[in-house]
């Protein structure tokens, strides 16, 4: 969670404000604060589009380009997802953000016993290329980019996306996919991991290396501080962990003999807009600056565009409440405002019913409208980085930068992010923060409207997105037919070649592409990796 | 010899990996003097029941965020009956719509704690209802 902690006197005057990252806010800021903190325009800010990009990565910000909106979409069967995709595009959405169901995320086919009750529930079910062909039918893949929320099996999905696009006649150099592909944060925060840390990171290295050569418009990794923040860490930790995770992936590819300069420009980030508005804005500005500075320092990246912190600033899920759910519409609008004031490039917003379920059509549209109102009505496109130069915001941005570096130092001390995740160090820290924060909410030290203040005693029932048992039946039926109709010899051969490549530590991507084209299933490909790599065992953190 | 602590097996059944709630509640239960065994993610229902037996847990707590609480609880209760461990207190927490609460009670889940419930309430309920 993450709004500030307030100490007030008996007359309700605020005596002290402490942001979740641990920074105290003063009642008034003046030019003295900037002087004290050593603020320098060129070094700390510079113009938008100039290093270190604190003010944004484009010189003209939203003036030259409205943000891309990508509501998280996908449920049930590929057919239903395809319909929702088209609906969102017809309403002005400019990119897709694809949700997969849990069996798919976990590399299980729809007929796996562990998949029971989960097929199509929190996203669409994908068993094979056949399903992708249905889901993306009639989508202009050379114009619409797709975020794929998939991690443990992201390599498989990226290969499948390429296979699907090529089948529809697109060239591989004109398609743009952004698989989330951040397994370290899954191990800290979201839980959809399969393989042990090292081979899992290697698979990410494979996708980065492959994209560099074969898929120039794809962004192979979207480092998601987002979910770690949702799991309870502070905004400063969110950025520090995300940067440390990104460095872990860079190191994997650099160890293969490449220069970071050649691939890091395709990295993107997925960061959270939930929290105190000032802390959020300062967080994004500090993050852009640090990413650029540290890439230069650590990896000698010089190309300007490779230093951009690009990505989606969105979501806000853990700010949403089950109590008085309509308040979430208002919250969402403020979170979106924070994203706009931070110069977000791409955005998405959790829908008001998301504390309960995946969004209904109406709720998803409301989120889209929220963005459109900000950009087209309220004036967020008028000027670039409107908060720049504020005594407060600039002081806070510098303080945030220092906090983020402090948190990064802690991870460095335990041996870097791969080590910190393997031992459970980060997981422990995040769980502790979550507990402390929850206690503050329950004790009323942190205020949540409708939860611990201004309560109405009655929760509103929201309109639920119903789970349909029929989805599983249809998916399983299609899977059975597929296994009967496909060339099973070709499947077997491609899987065998994949296994060999995995064992010999070759880049698995070309082999996955062949598997996908032969209509091998997600479960079959994942199981090859399970056999070769084994499975992750969670470190005990209690 | 002091009084034996209440033993809680806290489990994440199924594929859902959102464990913030489970970990936060584990902290709170421990602070309230209970012994908590956390299963970790991606547990099958039979494995949860086995662990509950092996660990001699008084309470089985499920944390479910995916919306699959009804089928999972149904399966768990079938196994509880089969294994004859009906003396264990079954509670569930997570993303649970109000309208599903009666169904869960009918299935035999004793305590139902949707997101946002106070720690005190969970701890008090377990303290009063667990048979050691």
Indicate yes or no: CB of A542 within 8 angstroms of CB of B26. yes
Other Cβ atoms within 10 Å of A444 Cβ, number: 11
pLDDT in tens, A227-262: 999 999 999 999 999 999 999 999 999 999 999 999
Nearest-by-Cβ selection for B67 from A103, A189, A357 = A357
Chosen for mutation from B23, B65, B71 (greatest number of chain A CBs closer than 10 Å) is B23
CA of A434: which chain B residue's CA is closest?
Answer: B24
Domain-located, residue A450: no
Q: Which residues of B touch A457 (CB under 8 A)?
A: none
Segment of A71-80, A376-385, B14-23, B91-100 carrying the highest mean pLDDT: A376-385
Domain-located, residue A528: no
Does B40 reach chain A within 8 Å, measured CB to CB? yes
Residue B2: predicted pLDDT: 55
Is the pLDDT confidence value at A139 over 80?
yes
Nearest-by-Cβ selection for B44 from A114, A192, A230 = A114
Mean pLDDT to the nearest integer, A61-66:
94
pLDDT in tens, A88-107: 899 888 889 899 999 999 99
> What contacts A79, CB < 8 A, 6 or more positions away?
A134, A135
Does A117 reach chain B within 8 Å, measured CB to CB? yes
Q: Cβ(A285)–Cβ(A342) under 8 Å? A: yes
Give the whole-number percent of chain B exceeding pLDDT 90.
81
Distance CA A499, CA A504 (A): 9
Indicate yes or no: CB of B24 within 8 angstroms of CB of A190. no
Indicate yes or no: CB of B118 within 8 angstroms of CB of A118. no
A221 in helix, strand or coil? strand
**CATH number for the domain harbouring residue A349:** 3.20.20.240
Domain-located, residue A522: no
Q: Which residues of A touch B98 (CB under 8 A)?
A: 459, 461
Distance CA A311, CA A342 (A): 12
Indicate yes or no: CB of B16 within 8 angstroms of CB of A191. yes
B55 in helix, strand or coil? coil
pLDDT band at A468 (very low <50, low <70, confident <90, very high): confident
Distance CA A476, CA A482 (A): 10
pLDDT in tens, B66-78: 778 998 999 999 9
Cα-to-chain-centroid distance, residue A168: 28
Residue A70: predicted pLDDT: 80
Region of A181 on the Ramachandran plot (φ > 0 left; ψ -120 to 50 alpha; else beta): left
Our CA-based measurement puts residue B69 at a distance from the nearest CA of chain A, in whole angstroms, of 9
A483 in helix, strand or coil? helix
Pair type for strands A14-18 and A221-224: unpaired
Nearest-by-Cβ selection for A117 from B71, B95, B118 = B71
Phi, psi for residue A103 in degrees, rounded to 5 = -55, -45
CA of B23: which chain A residue's CA is closest?
Answer: A431
Domain-located, residue A230: yes
Does A96 reach chain B within 8 Å, measured CB to CB? no
Report DSSP state, residue A188. I
Our CA-based measurement puts residue B6 at a distance from the nearest CA of chain A, in whole angstroms, of 17
Does B74 reach chain A within 8 Å, measured CB to CB? no
Q: Cβ(A261)–Cβ(A272) under 8 Å? A: no
Distance CA A351, CA A320 (A): 9
Q: Which residues of A touch B122 (CB under 8 A)?
A: none
CA of B118: which chain A residue's CA is closest?
Answer: A442
Residue A354: predicted pLDDT: 78
Chosen for mutation from A191, A226, A446 (greatest number of chain B CBs closer than 10 Å) is A191
Nearest-by-Cβ selection for A117 from B23, B27, B68 = B68
Residue A2: predicted pLDDT: 46
Mean pLDDT to the nearest integer, A445-453:
90
Domain-located, residue A322: yes
| Structural domains of chain B in order of their starting residue, each with its CATH number | 7-129 (3.40.50.280)
Number of domains in chain A: 1
pLDDT in tens, A312-346: 999 888 898 888 889 999 999 999 999 999 999 99
Pair type for strands A346-347 and B7-11: unpaired
Residue A464: predicted pLDDT: 58
Q: Which residues of A touch B72 (CB under 8 A)?
A: 117
Q: Provide the ipTM.
A: 0.91
Q: Cβ(A222)–Cβ(A9) under 8 Å? A: no
Our CA-based measurement puts residue A264 at a distance from the nearest CA of chain B, in whole angstroms, of 29
Indicate yes or no: CB of A461 within 8 angstroms of CB of B99. yes
Distance CA A162, CA A181 (A): 16
Is the pLDDT confidence value at A420 over 70?
yes
Q: Which residues of B touch A193 (CB under 8 A)?
A: 17
Distance CA A342, CA A285 (A): 7
Does A429 reach chain B within 8 Å, measured CB to CB? no
pLDDT band at A1 (very low <50, low <70, confident <90, very high): very low
Residue A186: predicted pLDDT: 96
Q: Which residues of A touch B66 (CB under 8 A)?
A: 102, 118, 121-122
Q: Cβ(A332)–Cβ(A281) under 8 Å? A: no
Does A229 reach chain B within 8 Å, measured CB to CB? no
CA of A191: which chain B residue's CA is closest?
Answer: B17
* Residue span of the structural domain in which A21 resides: 5-442
Domain-located, residue A459: no
Indicate yes or no: CB of B118 within 8 angstroms of CB of A186. no
pLDDT in tens, A187-229: 998 899 999 999 999 999 999 999 999 999 999 999 999 999 9
pLDDT band at B103 (very low <50, low <70, confident <90, very high): very high
Chosen for mutation from A321, A325, A435 (greatest number of chain B CBs closer than 10 Å) is A435
Domain-located, residue A467: no
- By C-alpha distance, which of B14, B113, B107, B110 is closest to B68? B14
Is the pLDDT confidence value at A113 over 70?
yes
Chosen for mutation from A230, A438, A541 (greatest number of chain B CBs closer than 10 Å) is A438
A55 in helix, strand or coil? coil
Residue A461: predicted pLDDT: 66
> What count of CB pairs under 8 Å joins A to B?
96
Domain-located, residue A331: yes
A433 in helix, strand or coil? helix
């Amino acid at each position: 969670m993450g709004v500030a902690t307030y100490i007030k006197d008996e007359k309700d005057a605020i005596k002290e404000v402490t942001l979740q990252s641990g920074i105290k806010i003063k009642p008034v800021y003046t030019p003295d604060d900037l002087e004290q903190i050593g603020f320098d325009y060129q070094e700390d800010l510079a113009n938008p589009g100039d290093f270190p990009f604190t003010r944004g990565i484009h010189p003209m910000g939203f003036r030259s380009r409205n943000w891309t909106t990508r509501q998280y979409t996908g449920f049930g069967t590929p057919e239903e997802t395809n319909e929702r995709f088209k609906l969102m595009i017809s309403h002005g959405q400019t990119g897709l953000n694809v949700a997969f169901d849990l069996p798919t995320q976990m590399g299980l086919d729809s007929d796996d016993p562990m998949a029971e009750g989960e097929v199509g529930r929190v996203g669409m079910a994908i068993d094979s290329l056949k399903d992708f062909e249905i889901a993306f039918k009639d989508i202009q893949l050379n114009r619409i980019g797709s975020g794929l929320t998939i991690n443990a099996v992201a390599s498989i999905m990226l290969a499948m996306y390429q296979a699907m696009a090529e089948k529809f006649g697109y060239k591989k150099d004109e398609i743009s996919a952004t698989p989330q592909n951040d397994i370290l944060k899954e191990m800290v925060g979201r839980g959809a991991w399969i393989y042990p840390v090292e081979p899992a990171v290697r698979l990410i290295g494979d996708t980065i290396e492959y994209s560099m050569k074969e898929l120039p418009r794809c962004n192979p990794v979207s480092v998601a501080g987002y979910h770690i923040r949702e799991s309870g860490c502070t905004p400063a930790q969110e950025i520090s962990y995300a940067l440390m995770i990104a460095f872990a992936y860079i190191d994997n590819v650099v160890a293969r003999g490449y220069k970071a300069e050649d691939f890091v420009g395709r990295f993107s980030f997925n960061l959270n807009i939930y929290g105190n508005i000032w802390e959020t804005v300062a967080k994004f500005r500090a993050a852009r600056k640090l990413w650029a500075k540290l890439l230069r320092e650590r990896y000698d990246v010089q190309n300007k565009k490779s230093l951009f912190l690009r990505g989606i600033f969105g979501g806000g899920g853990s700010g949403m409440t089950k109590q008085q759910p309509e308040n979430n519409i208002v919250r969402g609008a403020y979170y979106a405002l924070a994203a706009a004031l931070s110069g977000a490039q791409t955005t998405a917003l959790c829908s008001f019913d998301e504390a309960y379920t995946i969004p209904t059509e109406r709720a998803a549209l409301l989120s889209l409208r929220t963005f459109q109102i900000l950009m087209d009505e309220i004036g967020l496109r008028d000027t670039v980085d409107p908060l720049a130069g504020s005594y407060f915001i600039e002081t806070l941005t510098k303080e945030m930068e220092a906090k983020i570096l402090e948190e990064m130092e802690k991870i460095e001390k335990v041996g870097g992010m791969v080590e910190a995740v393997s031992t459970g160090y980060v997981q422990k820290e995040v769980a502790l923060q979550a507990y402390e924060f929850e206690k503050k909410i329950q004790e009323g030290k942190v205020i949540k409207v409708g939860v611990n203040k201004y309560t109405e005693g009655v929760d509103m029932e929201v309109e639920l997105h119903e789970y349909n048992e029929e989805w599983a039946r249809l998916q399983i039926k299609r899977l059975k037919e597929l296994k009967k109709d496909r060339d099973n010899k070709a499947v077997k051969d491609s899987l065998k070649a994949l296994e060999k490549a995995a064992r010999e530590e070759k880049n698995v991507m070309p082999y996955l592409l062949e598997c996908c084209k032969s209509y091998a299933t997600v479960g079959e490909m994942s199981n090859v990796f399970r056999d070769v790599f084994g499975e992750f065992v969670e470190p005990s953190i209690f | 010899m002091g009084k034996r602590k209440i033993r809680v097996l806290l489990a994440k059944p199924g594929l859902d990996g959102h464990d913030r709630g489970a970990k936060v509640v584990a902290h709170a239960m421990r602070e309230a003097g209970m012994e908590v065994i956390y299963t970790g993610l991606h547990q099958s229902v039979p494995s949860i029941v086995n662990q509950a037996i092996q660990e001699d847990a008084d309470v089985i707590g499920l944390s479910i965020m995916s919306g699959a609480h009804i089928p999972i609880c149904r399966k768990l209760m079938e196994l509880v009956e089969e294994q004859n461990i009906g003396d264990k207190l079954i509670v569930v927490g997570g993303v649970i719509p109000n309208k599903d609460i009666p169904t869960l009670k009918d299935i035999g889940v004793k305590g139902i704690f949707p997101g946002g419930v106070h720690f005190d309430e969970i701890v008090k309920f377990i303290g009063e209802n667990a048979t050691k």
